[in-house]
A and B are shown apart, each in its own frame.
Chain A
């Protein structure tokens, strides 16, 4: 394998993995607090639409990011209202958010922009550009192109992995957040508000989903199109489970899935030794298959947060 190919594969893996990393971290925060979040896909999709719509109207990256995060946080709060405040079914609520986002973004995009569901492409001034575009010339194809030719959000996502890890394992608030996902009664008995902690987790979750959605229109495709998330939210959910609800292993899973996505395209029609030609669908199916196998083989009931999916009812 030559250096140029290695650099391209590395760069592409990181680019594909970034929205997955942000979403998987969002999932980690919500689920460690005991709230199942199947709504990652819907929040990311609506955030992408909000970022694309406001970005094209105001021509500002900051406004686009804020709009994306704002919309996703609102959806997180709706999820909290249904499940934390009113003890509704968390799985059903997440599915509802996904379906609403799928339909509503298309309706609004068609009505407001009249381009069959697309938004106008964002200008170069709004989109995120590589921080060091000359890196590949000075640092060579692997390190330069692979690691240093990215936009700020890619590095923010990687930093956030460390940030979320630190928050969950090294701060008092993070400890409380994890405790509320394992044993809410204990947290309640200690005089803390269970629902407040869960709302906090959901708020942070919304911000991260918003960043993931904004990334899709600010860094990947220049415009919103209906269902542009195309299952990435579920892929991030798989990565979160694959990573056993922990930030760093989830990052590893996202990088693996990003890499699989990258090579799936490149291996079309390539004959591999001993295997022959691999169908592209087999590689596309791998993340889902791996998650199922891993869940069945190693992850029993004991890895997920103990109170996951159970609404908390205060005793009188």
Chain B
């Protein structure tokens, strides 16, 4: 690894793009292998994701969920932890939102009910992350293993509750009764109608604003507060942090608590915003997409917003391509997601030296040096 260091702009902007390009190239090769024209797929995707207001609304709805899970994975990563458990934490978040909605929905006005649902989603998600965090901090159980187990436990818990407790009487489907109107988060169509603007119907709802607020708060917390500095210190070096009087065990709990709460907010988008009832499989792999988003976005809220938009567009665009090309399914997008994780996560150090040598071959860069 004798290559000179990458300049900061290249490390932050160029390298993620190069890694994305590598993943796209492989995905394109797979498409070509199965007889699909990658350029046609890409143009159909772009049209499906951004071409119409309705398509764009769907894109933003997927983006919302990915912002939550991406931020969740990133906050844990800043604390030096790899949170594979966002899937389970998001499941519990939806369960929390659903339980308070079914319990109090008939008695509370929306102005009280909706904040309670948000808090419940965050609290349930946080609680589900805190158990593995505690076991890592005080019992030495590896957090990766425990969070994987908790993903399965979350799923079986939700199945059990839906089948045995929450299922609407007389219904065949494994889902709860619909929530009261006060427990439904207004969607974009309803919000714009208040201002007399026509907006196509889509799952996009007020959770999108909540996701933007969450991104701002995560940025402020991590880079503008002492608490955030302590968290990042532990992530950078647990030993140094301990020496400086920051107990790593506390920070593990804080990082995972915040991480789980963020993941739990997926429940607000999917359960309170879109389905307005509790059902199975509403997370649908978003917890794992969050890993790709956080890696793409270099664990920074700005990067995460952009990466979430990218994956939101891919998921929405992928669904649209399926209408035009029946052979194309969203599995292709999942494959791409896997390659993004491989290149920008596991192989982060593979392409960097080549890129660095390439850049330093350009005189202007070499003269400025690696700043």
Contacts and interface: CB of A to CB of B under 8 A. Distances in A.
B153 A289 contact: yes
Nearest to A311: B349
B103 interface: no
Interface string B118-148: 0000000000000000010001111011101
Interface string B243-270: 0000000000000000000000000000
B29 to A, nearest CB: 11
Output the residue of B82, B332, B347 with the most chain A CB within 10 A. Answer: B347
A88 B34 contact: no
Task: Say whether chain A's binding surface is mostly helix, strand, loop, or mixed.
Answer: helix
Interface in A240-265: 241
B339 interface: yes
A226 B327 CA distance: 15
Interface stretch (A50-58, A128-136, A191-199, A276-284): A276-284
Contact of A107 (B291, B329, B339): B329
29 contacts: A38-B144, A82-B342, A88-B346, A89-B348, A91-B84, A92-B82, A92-B291, A92-B341, A93-B342, A93-B347, A95-B291, A96-B341, A96-B346, A100-B338, A100-B342, A101-B338, A103-B337, A104-B338, A106-B331, A106-B334, A110-B327, A111-B35, A226-B331, A281-B157, A281-B160, A285-B153, A295-B141, A295-B145, A297-B139
A95 B287 CA distance: 12
Contacts of B341: 92, 95-96, 99
B148 A234 contact: yes
B370 interface: no
Given A100-B338, A100-B339, A284-B156, 7 more contacts: A82-B350, A93-B345, A95-B291, A98-B338, A99-B335, A106-B334, A304-B142
A107 B34 contact: yes
A158 interface: no
Interface residues of A, number: 52
Most buried by A among B36, B140, B295: B140
A28 B2 CA distance: 35
A197 B211 CA distance: 47
Given A89-B346, A92-B82, A295-B142, A100 B149 contact: no
B33 to A, nearest CB: 8
* 7 nearest A-B residue pairs (beta carbon): A103-B335, A100-B338, A103-B334, A93-B346, A111-B34, A99-B338, A106-B331
Contacts of A114: 327
B159 interface: yes
A281 B332 CA distance: 32
Interface in B307-359: 327, 329, 331-339, 341-342, 345-350
B192 interface: no
Nearest to A238: B149
A237 B84 CA distance: 15
A266 interface: no
Interface string B148-171: 111011001101100110000000
B146 A295 contact: yes
A230 B238 CA distance: 36
B56 interface: no
B84 A102 contact: no
Nearest to B132: A292
Contacts of A117: 331
Contacts of B152: 231, 234, 285, 288
B58 interface: no
Contact of A300 (B140, B148, B288, B329): B140
A301 interface: yes
Nearest to A280: B160
Contacts of B329: 106-107, 110
Nearest to A301: B140
Nearest to A282: B160
A281 B159 contact: yes
Contacts of B334: 99, 102-103, 106
Q: Give the interface centre of A97, A100, A241, A289 by most chain B CB atoms within 10 Å.
A: A100
Contact of B345 (A92, A112, A288, A296): A92
Interface string A110-149: 1110100100000000000000000000000000000000
B146 A292 contact: yes
Given A91-B82, A92-B341, A296 B135 contact: yes
A281 B154 CA distance: 11
A279 B346 contact: no
Nearest to B139: A296
B335 A104 contact: yes
A204 to B, nearest CB: 21
A279 B163 CA distance: 10
Interface string B36-65: 100000000000000000000000000000
Given A292-B135, A300-B140, A103 B346 contact: no
Nearest to A290: B149
B354 to A, nearest CB: 12
A91 B342 contact: no
A300 B136 CA distance: 10
Nearest to A88: B346
B30 interface: yes
A61 interface: no
Contact of A292 (B36, B149, B327, B339): B149
Given A102-B338, A108-B34, A88 B156 contact: no
A18 interface: no
B34 A87 contact: no
Contact of B349 (A86, A90, A111, A238): A86
Contact of A96 (B141, B157, B327, B345): B345
B261 to A, nearest CB: 21
A295 B337 CA distance: 31
Contacts of A38: 144, 148
A96 B342 contact: yes
A38 to B, nearest CB: 7
A51 B145 CA distance: 29
Given A102-B338, A107-B34, A237 B346 contact: no
A97 B335 CA distance: 10
Contacts of B349: 86-88
A229 interface: no
A291 interface: yes
